[in-house]
Structures are given as structure tokens and as C-alpha cells.
Amino acid sequence: MTTRIFIDGEAGTTGLQIRQRLESNAAVTLVSIEPARRKDPEAKREILQQADAVVLCLHDDAARETVAMVDALKAAGQSNVRIVDASTAHRVAPGWVYGFAELCAGQREAIAGADRVANPGCYATGAIALLRPLIDAGLLAPDAAVCLPSVSGYSGGGRAMIEAYEAGEGAPFELYALGLSHKHLPEIMHCSGLTRTPLFVPSVGAFAQGMLVQLPLQQEWLRAGADADTVLSVLQTHYSGSEWVRVVDGRSQTKLNATALADQDGMELHVFGNAANGQILLVARLDNLGKGASGAAVQNLQIMFGW
């Protein structure tokens, strides 16, 4: 018997890419609302009663509305549907499991048993992947004053940004969220173990898909005696055996292409260092629509249903 999946918001960028990834999966049957009834709440109730899982590719308020509908159906004994929420609405909410299987020991098992999984944000995926192992290992203090300069492809910016770039009207490179209160900050702190708000400076480049999240470190900020080799070893140990995260000793590299993992669902964590200067640079490279969005949602579904 196949898993019946409803993508709520399948016409958006994330929803479309989730559909593309699932269409060829023999373990999945995709169910949809008829176009003429797409805005009919009763049509949504009917399909939530049939589906095994719903993936929410919606704005936060709309995601909360669908969750409330699921709650009402479950209370009435009319649905057992499980949720993967790709919005920001529930990433730090009680009762939701954070959908980054590599976060820590037991996280994959928690996802497998969960009825509510919050898909991580794209920037947050890279930031948490770099920070959490260092904090857990005691290499970096939770109150460290870190910064996270980052760049994403324009496909993560929504329809208006995508249309602007595809029309040749987007800037070659620009910083944004300069109020320093980006929506990914709460989950970065909640899931990395940081207790001090990092200086997170996102930017967008004139390429469709790809992402680099940087974590620059002075060696003196780390536990006494730790250096780039120590950091590399901690990351390699944390992600040993991971299906989707690869740790790379980048000290022989001089360049890093942000688009190299476009259309892929894995993530690379690169470690650079200059012992003479006492400086270390960590960089997470991923596709903002792959491991940063749609690919991560499919990975969570795979874990939840044991495909």
C-alpha cells in the first residue's frame, strides 16, 4: 500500500519541487484538490481525511489554519494525517519535531515517530549544521559572539524576486534583512545551542539555486588547544555515516562555488584554516531548494514512512 501525500500549496516553488521528487517514487500516491475547489475549505477537509501525510508549503498564517483543521479532524476521529510543515510557523513550537535528522543523536528516530515535523529553513540548515556539533563538543561556548555571512540563490526569495531576476531586473548581489532580525534567527538559536543572537547577514546573488552559509572563527574563541584539525575531527565524527551531509577538508581549496550542489539534496561542510593567523572558516554549501527546502521535506517523509 502506498503513502498518500497531499501537498498543500503545491503550485509554489517548494511545492512544485516536492512534487517533482515524489512523482517517480513507487511508494507514494500524490493526492490533490481539484483546481476548481482549491479555495474550498470543505475540499481540503475531505482530502485531509484521505491522506497519510500533508506537506504545508504555505505562508505561516495559512499553515496554522491547516494545522487547526487537522487538529479538529483528529479530535473527531476523522483523520490520522501526519504533517511536514515547510513554513516558518512551527519551527520552535512545542510539540513539533525539528526536521533535521543530523541534528543530534536520536533526532532521526524522533522524526520517524513524529506526527508533526517542522522542516528547517534553508539558511538555518547550514548554520545549525556547523554550530551544533561545536557547541555539543564544548569547542565553542554557547554565548560566543558569532556572525553568519551567507548568500542564497534568488529562488528562495518568493515569486516577486524570482520574476524580477528572470526578467533581468534583479541586482547582481545584494544584502537584505538589514534590520538584523531575519525569521531564521529563532530556530538557529533554538536548535544550535547558541544563547547569544548571532549577527546573521543574508544576501542574494544572481543565480537561481545554491547557498553558502559561512561561520568565521578566531581560533582563540575555541576551547584551549583546539584548531582547524580539531574542528574538522568533531564535524567528521558528528556526521559519520550520514546519508546527506559530507564534511570536507577545504584547506587545499582556494574557491567555493555556491551553485555546485544545485538540484541536489545533500550538503557539504567545508573547513578552511590558517594556523599562522589563528583563523578558521567553516562553510556549509547546499541547494536552498534541496537540502534547504524541498529535498529536506522529502527526506523527512522518507524517514517518517520508512521508504
Q: Please check whether residues 10 and 84 belong to one and the same domain.
A: yes
Residues recognised as catalytic: 122
Beta carbons within 10 angstroms of residue 154's beta carbon: 21
Q: Under 8 Å CB-to-CB from 165, ≥6 apart: which residues?
A: 154, 206, 208
Q: What CATH number does the domain containing 83 carry?
A: 3.40.50.720
Cell readout for 204 is 542574494
Whether 151 and 206 have beta carbons less than 8 Å apart is answered as no
pLDDT 10s digit of each residue in the chain, 307 long? 899 999 999 989 999 999 999 999 999 999 999 888 888 899 999 999 999 999 999 999 999 999 999 999 999 999 999 999 999 999 999 999 999 999 999 999 999 999 999 999 999 999 999 999 999 999 999 999 999 999 999 999 888 999 999 999 999 999 999 999 999 999 999 999 999 999 999 999 999 999 999 999 999 999 999 999 999 999 999 999 999 999 999 999 999 999 999 999 999 999 999 999 999 999 999 999 999 999 999 999 999 999 9
Q: Please check whether residues 42 and 154 belong to one and the same domain.
A: no
Whether 101 and 82 have beta carbons less than 8 Å apart is answered as no
Angle 243-307-268 from CA coordinates, rounded to 5°: 20
Q: Please check whether residues 27 and 82 belong to one and the same domain.
A: yes
Q: Could you tell me where the beta strands, DSSP code E, fall in 163-244?
A: 173-175, 199-201, 203-205, 211-218
Could you tell me the residue range of the domain that residue 15 belongs to? 3-120+294-305
In the three-class reduction of DSSP (H, G, I as helix; E, B as strand; rest coil), residue 192 is classed as helix
- In degrees and rounded to multiples of 5, residue 265 shows phi and psi of -110, 10
- As for how many domains the chain has, the answer is 2
Q: Please check whether residues 300 and 212 belong to one and the same domain.
A: no
H-helix or E-strand spanning residue 271: strand 267-274
Can you give the pTM of this predicted structure?
0.96
